[in-house]
Every structure is written in structure tokens, then in C-alpha cells.
Amino acid sequence: MTQSDPAIASSVSSLLTLNAGSSSIKFALFERPELALRLTGELDGVGQQTRFIASAPNSGEQFTYEWPHGTAPPDHAGALAWLMQWIKTWLDGLEVSAIGHRVVHGGADFDQAVLVNDAVMAKLRLLEPLAPLHQPHNLAGIEAAQWAFGLLPQVACFDTAFHCHQPFVKDCFALPRALYDEGVRRYGFHGLSYEFIADHLKEAFPLHARGRVIVAHLGNGASMCGMLDGHSVASTMGFSALDGLPMGTRCGQLDPGVLLYLMQDRGMSAKEISDLLYKESGLKGLSGISNDMRTLEASKELHAQQAIDYFVYRVKREIGAMAAALEGLDAIVLTGGIGEHSVGVRRQILQSMSWLGIELDEHANQAGQTIISTARSRVLCLRIPTNEEKMIARHTQALAT
Ligand code: ADP
């Protein structure tokens, strides 16, 4: 591993963004006030085979590190502490003036990003049961940054906030009302990604941005958002990050009767069911091969093809349902690792949707262009890379002046 030459780094104000998940911790450093990217990277495979990669776009430097075989990999807290220290060492003359965090759950209270204080942390802790696999790690990231960087302003940016003001019928389940009142609602997630796309549409496609738009965030986690005039009015993810589309390892929409069967007839515990639904299902469960779309696309195995087919089928079904919820469709955006990079999945999703007024431009699709529909298509189809880190940086800049 090499470190940058201190002479290259000047003393400029910068923002650090942190996205601390269960097995990966992503970070980026942006120069203020333009929010030019100075450093980006991630710790992957935390707690197992931990790897570190980072790159500094200006200088072209690349950094990699793997914990040597035979040594115990750091646990989550250890990985966070190591990363904070590495970033501080890299900084040299650079000054971090605020830190923004991705926090998966803001509940019904937080409908926008917020400066973190003790009262905010206490409220966010209460939400841990609603997102047990994400929220504790997000909050651990805030604590690690506080410990490493002292009294700097920290900003929590929520994946739920963008969806906060959906109409009641799109926000509730048909369960006894008391459960809705205590917070059993459809929160929707991936909000930072959707907000980034909504902002981008306003700049680049202002007419369509004012209309009815479906954004499909198709990554390892996958969901869809229906927008009217740039605001979220429907999402496929609900109470947890499990609902809606099948994902890398998560099941997506499921008949609740399956859960009753697993508990009553198979005697599975809550922990076993949680592991099954979050870690062993989706593309990985269906294929029995991998959660990674690239691996499945390269495979000749029938089960790999069936997993892709199911993924595509569910996306198409949800597009139909979402178009009905929006009462029409003006544009559709594909984003996330699969939406941005898989020519084949984009084709399979869009080429059979002429009934909705979609006409795919296969040449543009193969070339990875932004507009992938023909000029005749009634619905504008777009491929737009998302940038959640940039969205966190914008919120952090706005709140930590
Ligand atoms: P996360 O939700 O972890 O941020 P990403 O948005 O990075 O996930 O998406 C990861 C998914 O994108 C994986 O299934 C990966 O296989 C898929 N992907 C990335 N690049 C390609 C590609 N060139 N072709 C097909 N799928 C791709």
C-alpha cells in the first residue's frame, strides 16, 4: 500500500461521506464547495476476507490492502477504526470539515437529513428493530467517525426520507390500524439514490421530470420508485428492505403464509428465517450459484437462467403495477449496478413492453447510452448511473456550513 505525497495535498476543506453496511463500508471525500471527488473506496467482506480498495481520481493513485492469510480479519468495529485511521493518514494537509452518513431508517419522524446530536442518536437507536441488519452498522459508523474526528458536524442522511410523504393508501398495510399507528408502514428505501436521479432529471430532462416517472434501482439491493413531479408516490420496498423485487440474496415479495409455514411446520426460529430471507434467497437462492448478476449471465446452468428470468419477470410486473399507480408513464430510468451495466437485463425488461408505449433502441442500449428508447417511443427510457455518495455530500454541505 502506498500513501499520497503530502506535498500534493493542499489544505482545502472537504466532506467525508460514510456508508457503513453490514459487510461493506464505503466512503468518499469531496472537496468543498464544488463537491469534486478527491478520494473514494471501500472495505469489503468485513469480518470474513476483508479487502480494502480506494482511488484518488485527481492523481490516479490506487490503494489496495488485504489482511494477510492466517491473521484474524477485523470485526466491524475494528474495520471502522482501521478505516478512519487510514483516511486520516491519507489526508495529510486536507481538512475534513463535516461527515455525512447514510442511515437506512429515519422512521416517520425524519423526513430530511439532520445534524446528529445525542437526541437524534437516541431516536435512531429506537429504529434499530425496524432495520436490524443495517441500522446498527450505520450508527456504529457515526460513532466511529465521532471518535476519530472529534467534534466535527455529522449529518445523518436517510434512505426513507424521500418517501416520507406518500399518500396513505401507498403507505399502509391492510392490518389493524393500531399497527400502522405504531409504525408498521411502508417506508420505502434507496431514497438517496432516487433523490439523486430526481435532481438529475430536473436538470437534464426537465419536462419529463415534471411527469410520471418510474426509477428502477437494480443493484445487489433492488427496488423501484414511482415519482410524480419529482416526488416519490410509490415504492416497491415496504416495511423492511425485503419487499418488492428479488435481490442478490433477498427474497422480495413473499406470501406471508410462507413465513407461517416455516415457523409452524419447519420449526424455524426468527433468526433462521431472517437469515434465509436476507442472505440465502433472491438470485443466490434461486440459482444456487451466485448473487452476482455477472456470474449468472456467464453461466450455462438452467437454474442461473431461471433466476435471471424471475428477476426480469418481477421487474416487468412491478413496472406494470407502478404505471397503474401513477396512472400512466412518461419516463423510466434504470440505475444501480445491474441497471447501469447489464445490456441483457435492460433488453429483457424493456423489449416486451410495447403495450406501455416503450420502444427500446437496441443499438443505444448496447452502446450504454443515456437515452435507450427510440425517438418514436411514447415513454422515454434512460440509463443513468446513480451517485448516493454525492447526494449525502450535498445534504451534508447544506447542513454543515
Ligand atoms: P449494491 O446494492 O451493493 O450497491 P451495485 O449497485 O453495485 O450493488 O450492483 C451490484 C450488482 O450489479 C451485482 O449483481 C453485479 O453483478 C451487477 N453488475 C455490475 N456490473 C455488471 C455488468 N457489467 N453486467 C451485469 N451485471 C453487473
Do the domains 13-158 and 206-388 sit in the same CATH topology, yes or no? Answer: yes
| pLDDT, tens only, 317-357 | 999 999 999 999 999 999 999 999 999 999 999 999 999 99
159 given a catalytic annotation: yes
Residues with CB under 6 A from ligand 1: 219-221, 248, 292-294, 297, 336-338, 341-342
- With pLDDT > 90 as the criterion, what percentage of the chain qualifies? 86
Is 50 exceeded by the pLDDT of residue 4? no
Catalytic: which of 5, 159, 255, 275? 159
Nearest to 192 by CA among 34, 398, 387: 387
Best CA proximity match to 351, nearest among 338, 332, 324: 332
Q: What is the mean pLDDT of residues 86-91?
A: 92
What distance in angstroms lies between residue 338's CA and the mean position of ligand 1's atoms? Answer: 5
Residue 348 to residue 309: CA distance in whole angstroms: 9
Average pLDDT over residues 284-291: 97
Domain 13-158: give its CATH architecture: 2-Layer Sandwich (3.30)
Question: Which is more confident, 4 or 247?
Answer: 247
Question: Under CATH, which number does the domain 206-388 receive?
Answer: 3.30.420.40
Helices (H), 255-369: 256-264, 270-279, 282-287, 293-298, 302-326, 336-341, 343-350, 362-366
Which of the pair, 296 or 165, is modelled with greater confidence?
296
Distance CA 124, CA 121 (A): 5
Ligand 1 pocket check: which of 159, 342, 389 to mutate, most ligand atoms within 8 Å of Cβ?
342
96 — pLDDT class (breaks 50, 70, 90): very high
Average pLDDT, the chain: 94
pLDDT of residue 91: 87
Which ligand 1 atom is at minimum distance from the Cα of 283? 14
Expressed in angstroms and rounded, the spacing between residue 292 Cα and the centre of ligand 1 is 7
Residue 2: predicted pLDDT? 42
CA distance 183 to 159: 16
Query: For position 186, what pLDDT does the model report?
Result: 94
Closest atom of ligand 1 relative to the 345 alpha carbon: 25
Q: Tell me the sheet residues that pair with 222.
A: 218
Q: Residue 320 burial by CB count (10 A; 0-12/13-18/19+): exposed, middle or buried? A: middle
User: pLDDT tier at 158 (50, 70, 90 boundaries)?
Assistant: very high
Q: In this predicted structure, what is the pLDDT of residue 67? A: 84
Residue 363 CA to residue 275 CA, distance in Å, equals: 41
pLDDT (0 to 100) of residue 359: 98
At 108-135, the pLDDT tens digits run 889 999 999 999 999 999 999 888 889 9
* Band of pLDDT at residue 92, cut at 50, 70 and 90: low
* Distance in Å, CA 293 to ligand 1 centroid: 6
Query: Distance from the CA of 315 to the center of ligand 1, in angstroms?
Result: 16
What would the pLDDT profile of 235-271 be if each residue is shown by its tens digit? 999 999 999 999 999 999 999 999 999 999 999 999 9
How large is the average pLDDT for residues 151-169? 94
Domain range annotation of the chain: 13-158, 206-388
Q: Give the residue, by CA position, lying nearest to ligand 1 atom 19.
A: 337
Tell which atom from ligand 1 comes closest to the C-alpha of 247. Answer: 14
pLDDT of residue 287: 98
Helix (H) or strand (E) holding 398: helix 388-399
Closest ligand 1 atom, CA of 222?
A: 2
Query: What tens digit of pLDDT does each residue of 24-81 get?
Result: 899 999 999 999 999 999 998 887 888 999 999 988 999 999 887 777 878 889 999 9
Range 161-178 average pLDDT: 94
Residue 210 CA to ligand 1 centre (angstroms): 29
* Residues 43/17, Cβ–Cβ less than 8 Å: no
Is the pTM higher than 0.85? The answer reads yes
What's residue 3's pLDDT? 46
pLDDT reported for residue 94: 83
